[in-house]
A and B are shown apart, each in its own frame.
Chain A
């Protein structure tokens, strides 16, 4: 290849732009031109697009000597991107290369945002290359001519693959890839991914589980950017609170840093925190008004685009944001990144740090702002994780029956499918490689007869079987399906707009329910007065003079990742032996000494339990440092196990470091632990079912499943077609299916998702096993220790009870009447 005329052509063009091919780009080019598939591991802003796009064009020139005049008809290349917002930039870059090399190709976009004019044009003739989202590619498969559309595709690239793995959109992508591979067995498949802990698996997922992996490669871009982590330290440790997660006390120091650089991104962990930080800075430093902004997922798309553009043009001094700016195009003026509060995962921290320092060879620097004193331990843990480059894995979904049910109907709406063929096809995906024939038949029944078998017949109408072909004939069924496809289930949220009509974003109904017209709240970085609520729209007006409350959005806080929690346990133990190694630990020393005085700092082979008697009852604190998700399940299980020895009811609270069991009587833990193994994992599933309200959790999970599998029809967007006769809440559907159909796969999936994602059963098991091997240290304390104090003040109460429903109700009634 090196000496071919095409290569020279390419070099000329690159030289005209004063670009040079980097090593990983050359390597990718060679692998692609050798016909290989694979995964390119390269960060944003490294030239990853061209690493694949240029060889695609070279290959085209190679095989079409008259490429300047003759262009093959039909779609050749599919480029999947998870973000609609990225499509425009991609298109521009890709088109530039085509034009530069004088290839008369068109690069088209197919996302939810596409205009109907473009859609019609594409219907007439597909561009040679199409940038598309996973949802939109599924929509193309719902067309009657999908084979025609896809038959000439020889290469597919999945951009930001790490973002898709671990979500149901990743499953959608796997399914589409499996189908494209069947249409063209020689399909070249490439993924582009940032660094994650399971790159090998990411590649296998992309290429299919039974596809030969011999002809595939992983190429790593060596340009590992240097990353510096600096903690913003308080002058005195006393000025940081023991608990809390806002962190505005370090505001002045943060502003000092903002002043020193061109543009700064301030990452927070929740949307509310973003609003609060923006408000706090503007209030204390009004000079930033007009040259600063905030950015989060609930702001209107238009507002966000404005912020993004202003960032590009260097019109902003700083932007306070959430993970909404983790991804996407790079903002060249961004010099500094500040993380407020623990990011809870090393990968997320690294990703955010990467938003700064884009010049080749530049060092990325990220400032960490602790929001409470214990987060100083997280600071050193994060730094260690970054140095050792230990990044979290993204775990793919398995057996998502909801997505498969949707896919089957999608294909039936399109050209139809033969069941054995499709069965073989989907078993080549990682997600469904373990599906069994019985489950498959249940799904076939679900979409054809609405029951667990194919034999029942009533008036159920959805997919029909004609000469072995599963098809949808009913036009209304087809239309409803097309309109409700996708895997992202939007919350029932209300749009917020000004009287004049400008939209600000969206807000949750539960928040507005607490307000009366005339009340003032803070949203999108300004205070507004609530005027009225009509047709799912909240109308507001500006109210500059008064301060308001800040809205809360669901799904707020994230849980500590397993990698980070391991570091934290070790760093804490290490602090006993090496208190002066790092500035953060030195700063924290007074607090650590207090912990040691009142209780103990657990060594790495110890599990610390504190017992504390107070007015409200007897507290037990246990500190596994495994993150709040794992603690939630673990607390319920241990409470349950204690209650099998002595009848007792607990209130439960947890945070990322530990959990608390509160009861009205003293528990003699030493004695109990001689009678029962609290950390046993032999009957874990059984104990989970007895202790956690799994049904209630599954019901909540079912909302998404019901929507994806087509049980809930959201209605026609923007149209007032009456659908109320067909609307049922997902909780009602759950209840009916749970009660009357024992083997319903979708219900089973809901419970499985609770185990996998809500309780993280696997991690729970590992943690319990570890604790079982550790030395138990029980400390009776008379004043709360620095570790237990946050649990005392920051409780999320949940009650564990083994009583029957009826007596529970009676108790609640008593409590209720006392309260009035």
Chain B
């Protein structure tokens, strides 16, 4: 599903990422790496194999999109350091030519040095070509810019007339802002409402469909 915003072209991908064609940039929200291990350290047996699927999906995205850069829209890493960061560092080394930027989210409390060691730029937010990349959605937005953000983990509940319902992760586009779905395999969802001026794109298996 491709959409145009202010003359730029963005592909909404069923892997829960956005590809910005003009800048060959992948946008990825709320990865929450380390969350599975964080739970496991507390004795909650989330299957540890699940974390590998994050990297497998990232690999697919990088390979198929030919991206030159990834912008992580915050909450890259869930809370304190654990061994999942080392897996991430190893994965990072596979793509030395790929630029990676992270705008910080509320869960990103790792020391800056770790990001730097991984050859990643760290920003509070990022502005480019009239687009603002940030973790938290904004309430008030300057009329000249368009915002990409994460944080909310949006899902949309489709209901049929006969009481059947299904919850799907979604991209939420308002007039000046788009919220990305959470990328990580172990992240929950927050149900969004339809609103005037809001477009919702749900991810149904390997398709992105506009509601």
A residues at B contact (CB < 8 Å): 446-447, 450-451, 456, 458-462, 474, 476-477, 480, 651, 710-711, 713, 725-726, 728-729, 732-733, 736-737, 739-741, 744, 796-799, 805-806, 808-813, 815-817, 819-820
CA A750 – CA B77 in complex, angstroms?
Answer: 31
CA A477 – CA B39 in complex, angstroms?
Answer: 12
**Least Cβ–Cβ distance between A819 and chain B, in angstroms:** 7
Most buried by B among A651, A710, A728, A744: A728
Given A477-B43, A726-B42, A799-B160, are A450 and B48 neighbors across the interface (CB < 8 Å)?
yes
Closest to A405 in B: B45
Q: Chain B 118-160 against A: per-residue CB contact (8 Å), 1 yes, 0 no? A: 0000000000000000000000000000000000000000111
A741 touches B160 (CB 8 A): no
CA A741 – CA B46 in complex, angstroms?
Answer: 9
**Least Cβ–Cβ distance between A492 and chain B, in angstroms:** 15
Q: Which of B45, B49, B185, B205 contacts A711 (CB 8 A)?
A: B45
**Least Cβ–Cβ distance between A742 and chain B, in angstroms:** 10
Q: Which of A736, A810, A819, A820 contacts B46 (CB 8 A)?
A: A736
Given A736-B186, A740-B47, are A728 and B161 neighbors across the interface (CB < 8 Å)?
no
CA A456 – CA B185 in complex, angstroms?
Answer: 21
Q: Which of A480, A729, A736, A819 contacts B47 (CB 8 A)?
A: A736
Q: Which of A728, A744, A797 contacts B39 (CB 8 A)?
A: A728
A797 CB contacts on chain B under 8 angstroms: 162-163
Q: Which of B42, B46, B82, B205 contacts A806 (CB 8 A)?
A: B205
B158 touches A809 (CB 8 A): yes
B residues at A contact (CB < 8 Å): 36-50, 53, 78-79, 82-83, 158-164, 166, 168, 185-188, 194, 202, 204-205, 207, 209, 211
A450 touches B205 (CB 8 A): no
CA A740 – CA B45 in complex, angstroms?
Answer: 12
Closest to A725 in B: B79
**Least Cβ–Cβ distance between B167 and chain A, in angstroms:** 9
Given A446-B45, A816-B159, are A740 and B50 neighbors across the interface (CB < 8 Å)?
yes
A461 touches B41 (CB 8 A): yes
B41 CB contacts on chain A under 8 angstroms: 459-461
- List of 10 A-B pairs having minimum Cβ-Cβ separation, nearest first: A462-B43, A450-B45, A741-B47, A740-B50, A460-B40, A797-B162, A809-B204, A740-B47, A812-B158, A459-B41
A820 CB contacts on chain B under 8 angstroms: 194
Closest to B42 in A: A726
B159 CB contacts on chain A under 8 angstroms: 812, 816
**Least Cβ–Cβ distance between A698 and chain B, in angstroms:** 16
Contacts A458-B83, A460-B40 aside, 18 further interface pairs with beta carbons under 8 A come to A451-B47, A451-B48, A458-B37, A459-B83, A460-B48, A461-B42, A476-B42, A711-B45, A713-B42, A725-B78, A725-B79, A728-B44, A737-B47, A799-B160, A799-B162, A806-B209, A809-B166, A809-B202
A451 CB contacts on chain B under 8 angstroms: 45, 47-48
B205 CB contacts on chain A under 8 angstroms: 805-806
Most buried by B among A447, A737, A809, A816: A809
A-B contact number at CB 8 A: 122
A739 touches B50 (CB 8 A): yes
Most buried by A among B45, B53, B194, B205: B45
B42 CB contacts on chain A under 8 angstroms: 461, 476-477, 480, 713, 726
Closest to A662 in B: B162
Cβ contacts A to B, 7 pairs, < 8 Å: A651-B162, A726-B39, A740-B53, A796-B163, A798-B163, A799-B164, A810-B209
A711 touches B166 (CB 8 A): no
CA A480 – CA B47 in complex, angstroms?
Answer: 20
**Least Cβ–Cβ distance between A554 and chain B, in angstroms:** 15
**Least Cβ–Cβ distance between B38 and chain A, in angstroms:** 7
A816 CB contacts on chain B under 8 angstroms: 158-160, 211
CA A740 – CA B36 in complex, angstroms?
Answer: 12
B45 touches A460 (CB 8 A): yes
Q: Which of B40, B194, B209 contacts A458 (CB 8 A)?
A: B40
B53 CB contacts on chain A under 8 angstroms: 740
**Least Cβ–Cβ distance between B199 and chain A, in angstroms:** 13
B50 touches A736 (CB 8 A): yes
Closest to B161 in A: A815
A741 CB contacts on chain B under 8 angstroms: 47, 49-50
Closest to A742 in B: B47
A459 touches B43 (CB 8 A): no
Given A799-B162, A812-B160, are A806 and B204 neighbors across the interface (CB < 8 Å)?
yes
A813 CB contacts on chain B under 8 angstroms: 158, 209, 211
A732 touches B47 (CB 8 A): no
A740 touches B43 (CB 8 A): no
Closest to A819 in B: B161
**Least Cβ–Cβ distance between A305 and chain B, in angstroms:** 37
CA A816 – CA B159 in complex, angstroms?
Answer: 7
Closest to A476 in B: B42
B188 CB contacts on chain A under 8 angstroms: 728-729, 732
Given A732-B188, A813-B158, A816-B211, are A459 and B49 neighbors across the interface (CB < 8 Å)?
no
Given A809-B166, A809-B204, A816-B159, are A456 and B47 neighbors across the interface (CB < 8 Å)?
no
**Least Cβ–Cβ distance between B72 and chain A, in angstroms:** 20
**Least Cβ–Cβ distance between A475 and chain B, in angstroms:** 12
**Least Cβ–Cβ distance between A814 and chain B, in angstroms:** 10
Given A458-B48, A732-B188, are A710 and B160 neighbors across the interface (CB < 8 Å)?
no
A809 CB contacts on chain B under 8 angstroms: 158, 166, 168, 202, 204, 209
CA A477 – CA B186 in complex, angstroms?
Answer: 22
A811 touches B160 (CB 8 A): yes
Closest to B168 in A: A809
B47 CB contacts on chain A under 8 angstroms: 451, 736-737, 740-741, 744
CA A740 – CA B54 in complex, angstroms?
Answer: 12
B209 touches A740 (CB 8 A): no
B79 CB contacts on chain A under 8 angstroms: 725
Closest to A744 in B: B47
CA A744 – CA B48 in complex, angstroms?
Answer: 13
B44 touches A711 (CB 8 A): yes
Given A736-B185, A806-B204, A810-B209, are A456 and B160 neighbors across the interface (CB < 8 Å)?
no
A450 touches B209 (CB 8 A): no
CA A673 – CA B45 in complex, angstroms?
Answer: 49
**Least Cβ–Cβ distance between B48 and chain A, in angstroms:** 6
Closest to A820 in B: B194
CA A733 – CA B162 in complex, angstroms?
Answer: 28
B48 touches A815 (CB 8 A): no
A729 CB contacts on chain B under 8 angstroms: 188
Q: Which of B48, B49, B162 contacts A798 (CB 8 A)?
A: B162
A446 CB contacts on chain B under 8 angstroms: 45
CA A476 – CA B43 in complex, angstroms?
Answer: 10
**Least Cβ–Cβ distance between B80 and chain A, in angstroms:** 9
**Least Cβ–Cβ distance between A746 and chain B, in angstroms:** 9
B82 CB contacts on chain A under 8 angstroms: 459
Closest to A807 in B: B204
A740 touches B166 (CB 8 A): no
CA A817 – CA B200 in complex, angstroms?
Answer: 12
B204 CB contacts on chain A under 8 angstroms: 805-806, 809
B37 CB contacts on chain A under 8 angstroms: 458-459
Closest to A796 in B: B163
B211 CB contacts on chain A under 8 angstroms: 813, 816-817
A744 CB contacts on chain B under 8 angstroms: 47
B44 CB contacts on chain A under 8 angstroms: 450, 710-711, 713, 726, 728
Closest to A729 in B: B188
CA A456 – CA B48 in complex, angstroms?
Answer: 10
